[in-house]
Each structure stands twice: as C-alpha cells, then as structure tokens.
Chains A and B, each alone.
Chain A
Amino acid sequence: MKNPNINAIFNLNMEAVYYRDASLGCCPVKKYLKQYIKNKGDKPKEKNRKDKVLATLDVRIQYVLQNNGIPYPPLIKKLSGYDYFEIRSKKNQNILIRIFYFRYEDKIVLLNALEKPENYTGEREGRKIKKELDITQIYLNKFKNNPNLYEKYEYQIS
C-alpha cells in the first residue's frame, strides 16, 4: 500500500471520538490517558514526561485522521484476527502504548488502550494482552450496535 504524502495539510473530514462504554460508565481510552494529566505536585521532569507521552499520542491520532483512518504502515498496524487497528507509541524504553481504533462512517473511534512490556516473557502477560484485545473487539461490536456511544476527542489543527 503506497503511503500518501504525510506533508499534506490536515484534511479533517473525519473526527476522532472516544468510545464510551455504558457498563463501565467511562471511555476506556480517555480513562487511560487521564493518568497523564499533570498533578500540581509533579516535579518538572515528570510534567515533561507526561506532556511528551500525550504529545506523541496526539500527533499519531492526528496522523490517523489525516489518512482517514487507513492503517498505513509503519506507524499504524492492522491486528490479525481483529477488526480494528493499533496506534503504537513508546512510553519509555521498556513499555509500548497501544491504542486501538476502528473507522466507523466519518469517525475514528478510539476503543481501548493498553501498555505492553517490550520484551515480556511468560504466558501470563500474553494472556492478559489477549484478554484486552478480546475486550476491545467487544467494545467495537457494542459501538456498531449503538453508534451514539462516544465522546468527542478534541483536536486542533497544527
């Protein structure tokens, strides 16, 4: 798949939204991101770290929007066995943040997020990740059944 010109101006025909799960009473991705809200007691280094993580994710989400949700590699990947795609971003040397999304009509629906250790060993971690991937698929199906289950992702054109 030929990648389009990333330098294109943001063509925001689509909008990004957080999937809202009725039974949880919250948006899983938003809930995940809230750990990066700066605390007034945070040291400057910690504040910078949080800004950096969120900025990286935000730029990648805007990249997805710019490409109308199409999972162009290498930054976006399709997951085999599931109907959604993933945005990958490093949190630090050992942890990878994965945000799962799918495209529904004119929306990029941010379904779920998880942190994956880079080099995990053992079945326990693998099972945990598989469980989250399965839950994400359930979120996707729920959204398809009720496309009003979302909250707006506020973005800005940079």
Chain B
Amino acid sequence: MKNMNTKLVNKNIDPMTEARKSEKFQQYSKDIIPRMRLAVEVYNSRNTLGLSQQALAKEINSTQKVVSKIENGDINLGIELLSRFVERLNFNSDTLARVFNCGQSYVFIGAADDKKGTENSMVYTISDKALSSPVCMFDETYMIGSTTLHSDSIVIHNNIKSSNK
C-alpha cells in the first residue's frame, strides 16, 4: 500500500487535481466558502464600526479568540452567535445574501451603460453617474446572482429573470 502512494508521489501529479476527484473534497470546498465570506463580512463591518476584536467579543458575550477564528474562516458558528454578530455588526439582507449566496430581488433604477448576455444570464454595467441620476426604470426585475464592484461601475450578474413589467 505504501509503495503505491510512493509511486504517486514520485509521479509529477498535482495533489489538488488528485484531491478534486473525491466527492468529500468537493463537499468540503462548498462548506468552506460561506465561512470565508462570513470572515470577510465580519472583518469589514467590525473595521467600519471601529471596533477591536476584543471590544466586539465583549459586546456579543464571546471571546477575542472566537472573533479571530471567525475572521480567519477557521470555525463554524452556531445560529445564536451568528445572530449576535448580525445584530451588533448591523448586517443587512445584502450582507447575508453575500454570505449565503442567496439571490435578491432588485428593481434597477437608472440607465445601464452596457447590457449583454443571454436572457437568463445578463450582465449590466451601471456607472456611478447613471446610478446617481435615475433616468429610467428598467422594465425587468431580476433575481441577482452576484454583483461585482469596480471603481467606477457595478456589474450585476443575474441568474433568474423573475418578472416582467
């Protein structure tokens, strides 16, 4: 048995390529992503509020070590503790949608500078200028898959067209 592994190690194979063949690996990868997203959101919100890890921990009745572990994406947290984070860090539906990768319903107000893609996979590019000066309302409401922020625009990747006006 050991020899077999030695043979694999000696071959110039990529360990990641090997690991990806495993279903468990795929499942773990999926499980890790929300934890990482939460880590980023907690870190950003805490800094926006000007709180140290210690101060936040005290306010939510936890410890600095736990906050640190969450910000490193190292632990899963229970629903009670998550609720306390949500409340203290003023998470809104956008934040939670980013963490859990849920779609959100938006009505676009403003003019898209660019619109391309297929009916069910559209990418809008909306500049800051267009967003701040509503010219018209899009005649579609979409479930949003994700948004990408750029320095001068927002690209919205929608997954499902939910309704038409």
Mark A37-78 against chain B: 1 for CB-CB distance below 8 A, else 0.
111110000011011101110111001000000001111000
Assembled-state Cα–Cα distance A2/B98 (Å): 15
Q: How many A-B residue pairs have CB under 8 A?
A: 121
Interface residues of chain B: helix, strand, loop or mixed (majority): helix
Residues of A within 8 Å of B12, CB to CB, are 151
Across the interface, do B36 and A51 meet the contact criterion of CB distance under 8 Å? no
In the assembled complex, the CB of B38 is this many whole angstroms from the nearest CB of chain A, namely 10
In the assembled complex, the CB of B146 is this many whole angstroms from the nearest CB of chain A, namely 4
Across the interface, do B15 and A33 meet the contact criterion of CB distance under 8 Å? yes
- Judge if A6 is at the interface, Cβ distance under 8 Å: yes
Mark A1-45 against chain B: 1 for CB-CB distance below 8 A, else 0.
011111111010000000000000000001001101111110000
State how many residues of chain B have any CB contact under 8 Å with chain A: 43
Measured CB to CB, the nearest residue on chain A to B9 is A34
Among B19, B37, B71, B74, the residue within 8 A (CB) of A90 is: B74
Among A39, A54, A74, the residue within 8 A (CB) of B4 is: A39
Among A30, A38, A56, the residue within 8 A (CB) of B28 is: A56
- Judge if B39 is at the interface, Cβ distance under 8 Å: yes
Counting contact residues on chain A (CB < 8 A from B), the size range is 35 or more
- Judge if A102 is at the interface, Cβ distance under 8 Å: no
Mark B1-37 against chain A: 1 for CB-CB distance below 8 A, else 0.
1101100110011111111101011101110110011
Measured CB to CB, the nearest residue on chain A to B155 is A8
Across the interface, do A58 and B148 meet the contact criterion of CB distance under 8 Å? no
Across the interface, do B1 and A55 meet the contact criterion of CB distance under 8 Å? no
- Judge if B149 is at the interface, Cβ distance under 8 Å: yes
A75-B40, A154-B14, A155-B16 given as contacts; is B32 within 8 A of A7 (CB)?
no
Residues of B within 8 Å of A72, CB to CB, are 40
- Judge if B43 is at the interface, Cβ distance under 8 Å: yes
Among A8, A30, A153, the residue within 8 A (CB) of B146 is: A8
Residues of B within 8 Å of A41, CB to CB, are 1-2, 5
Assembled-state Cα–Cα distance A54/B149 (Å): 29
In the assembled complex, the CB of B59 is this many whole angstroms from the nearest CB of chain A, namely 19
Assembled-state Cα–Cα distance A51/B30 (Å): 12
- Judge if B90 is at the interface, Cβ distance under 8 Å: no
Assembled-state Cα–Cα distance A59/B146 (Å): 18
Residues of A participating in the B interface, judged by any CB pair closer than 8 Å: 2-9, 11, 30, 33-34, 36-41, 47-48, 50-52, 54-56, 58-60, 63, 72-75, 88, 90, 151-156, 158
